[in-house]
Amino acid sequence: MNLRIAHITSSHSRLDNRIFFKQCCFLAKKNNVTLFVSDGLGNKKISNVLVVDLGLKFSRLKRFLILPFMMLKIIDITNYDVFHLHDPELLLIVPFIRGKRKIVIFDSHEDVIKQMLYKPYLNKLLLKIISNFYGVFQFIILKLVDGVVTSTPHIKNKLKKINSNSIDIKNYPIINDN
């Protein structure tokens, strides 16, 4: 089956090892894969993956509050069968994608709730509030996604309590046989 798959990231590099090389390139062998990024480097087809640039990078706040909805407005949801989201802020658009009866996969590269507690640019109390809010938000939204891909067994076990269709794909380096 030849699926139309959209990988979407608001913060990772277009040539991110996990997203581009391990996931997009592998899937592009038998599917139509588009990687949506926001890096200002323009559109380009690389290794049978169409990379679509949605513009320049944004500040943290705009990336979290505005960019997901800008992406949703630009990406024609009806053109894809599967949406693979790679950043926590993209969970904001899950209800809109699910409303079109599309498959949604969330890729949790890290333990976001725990990671938030150690951001150096906010005070400890605010970090705790944001982390708790995100925990509740994540609990609600991950129930809506079709699957969760994690990078470690620890994160998988934690998220499996929310969404039973969670797996971990370890993020080992690619070793060349050459």
**Helix (H), strand (E), coil (C) string for 41-95:** CCCEEECCEEEEECCCCCCHHHHHHCHHHHHHHHCCHHHCCEEEECCHHHHHHHH
pLDDT at 66: 77
Residue 176 lies in a domain: no
CATH of the domain at 56: 3.40.50.2000
Is the pLDDT at 177 greater than 60? The verdict is: no
For residue 22, what are the CA distances in angstroms to 26, 127, 162, 168? 6, 32, 26, 13
Residue 41 lies in a domain: yes
What does the alpha-carbon distance between residue 162 and residue 48 come to, in Å, rounded to a whole number? 34
In terms of residue numbers, what domain contains 24? 4-168
Positive or negative: CA dihedral 159, 161, 162, 167: positive
Residue 178 lies in a domain: no
Residue 175 lies in a domain: no
Nearest Cα to Cα of residue 7 among 83, 81, 58: 83
Residue 177 lies in a domain: no
Given its phi and psi angles, is residue 103 left (phi above 0), alpha (psi -120 to 50 degrees) or beta? beta
pLDDT in tens, 96-110: 999 999 999 999 988
- At residue 162 the predicted structure's pLDDT band, cuts being 50, 70 and 90, is very high
- Structurally, the chain folds into a number of domains equal to 1
pLDDT at 71: 81
pLDDT in tens, 102-146: 999 999 988 888 887 777 777 888 889 988 999 999 999 999 999
Burial of 177: CB neighbours in 10 Å, binned 0-12, 13-18, 19+: exposed
Residue 100 lies in a domain: yes
pLDDT at 1: 67
Which pTM was predicted?
Answer: 0.89
Residue 163 lies in a domain: yes
